Structure 1
């Protein structure tokens, strides 16, 4: 296997099968999938177990979020990184928002020597379809302004990224809120001299379930890492 695909889930039983099938159709790079859940009563677990059994799969694994006592996307990603068997990881949401067809292109760029590949909604060829208006506005303005000041990606806040697993030996995730960890990792990696690149990607707002993103709650946490770029 060349790649570990980490999928954090929280009651994504309506979306997860479509996500797994899309990966199967669109990704040619050899991969394992690590589905990380928070709660034992999450119906997503049964859906994934049945899918594995029905298709006799040996490359999809269910893991419980076991990093610390706090649930949520950050520790779910940390759990996925811990269990990943490959040297390259990509984080994808289970809500069908990410442009899965870009994974092979991202992996080729990793092979060329880059350490982080960002799927970018805001570079030429990228696009955002749907999603909360103010979330999108804040993300676009903050991302583009950092690009103007030298960060080599138009979209550091997008969760859909590919990493060399080894960078997490040098970069400790300090974020404790949620998706702001994406900005934290890119800012820290840039300041440490890691090579960052991007590919244009289309992001789509979810059609099933409710978004876990809380702008007002997480805005101060994003600002912390935004300002850290300038220090």
Structure 2
């Protein structure tokens, strides 16, 4: 089964659309775990109205590691019942149409991590800040060329993991969305099987982004440098 982890922060305008997209575009057996920071989050009343309208299970879990996206993702990982875990955002930016193909890569082809890639052939990004896009693309493509890293898009949070791999990696990230980069870098150094699938990322049309580029850049740089460490033999 696939556990989809979705951190939210006042996503009342988007959550019902996201659940509809999950229902329409994903055929793999799944549960959806919506992780929120505080009881007053406006996502929750909307979710409560639709929670029993779909055949797959929808669960809400309160973030118990402390507020913020990173801790919400950690909470989702801990609560996941599936043997495979996907992280996606509630802002409808991620391409859920590729999820079944990602799932097959793990369950049929034996990969440990599958990365949705905006910067490989066939992938693209629509909208979003140009500087953020440039730096993200530069990080991914340079690691691919200089380190033979198995994805062109190391910074994208839209990744699917074999849960066993998540249980083997000690998370050190402190904030933001850096956890996705940390996990794939550490898995690479441990010789895990990693691949990528082209995806189209579309900037959100409702709500506001919680991404803080300048605040989190040092953390991303930390894991970029860490990727050049020696791999295990």
The alignment's TM-score, normalised by the length of structure 2, stands at: 0.95
Aligned-pair Cα RMSD in Å: 1.0
Q: Match of 2:3, SS?
A: strand
Query: 2:161 maps to which residue?
Result: 163
* Aligned-partner Cα distance in 2 for 1:182–1:56: 29
Deviation at 1:133, TM superposition (A): 1.1
* Aligned-partner Cα distance in 2 for 1:56–1:183: 32
Deviation at 1:172, TM superposition (A): 1.2
Deviation at 1:58, TM superposition (A): 5.8
Query: 1:19 maps to which residue?
Result: 18
Query: 2:120 maps to which residue?
Result: 123
Query: 2:97 maps to which residue?
Result: 101
Query: 1:10 maps to which residue?
Result: 9
* Aligned-partner Cα distance in 1 for 2:228–2:189: 10
Q: Match of 2:51, SS?
A: helix
Deviation at 1:99, TM superposition (A): 0.3
- Map 1:1-231; keep pairs closer than 5 Å: 2-53=1-52, 55=53, 59-67=57-65, 70-111=66-107, 112-148=109-145, 149-231=147-229
Deviation at 1:56, TM superposition (A): 6.3
* Aligned-partner Cα distance in 1 for 2:161–2:182: 14
Shift of the 48–57 alpha-carbon distance from structure 1 to 2, 3 Å rule, reads farther
- Residues 95-117 of structure 1 deviation map (CA, whole Å, 9 limit, x = unaligned): 00000000000000001100000
Structure 1 residue ranges (4+ consecutive) displaced by more than 4 angstroms after TM superposition: none
Q: How many pairs are equivalent?
A: 227
- Residues 160-182 of structure 1 deviation map (CA, whole Å, 9 limit, x = unaligned): 00000111221111111211111
Deviation at 1:37, TM superposition (A): 0.3
Unpaired stretches in structure 1, ≥5 consecutive residues: none
The alignment's TM-score, normalised by the length of structure 1, stands at: 0.96
* Aligned-partner Cα distance in 2 for 1:79–1:157: 20
Deviation at 1:57, TM superposition (A): 5.4
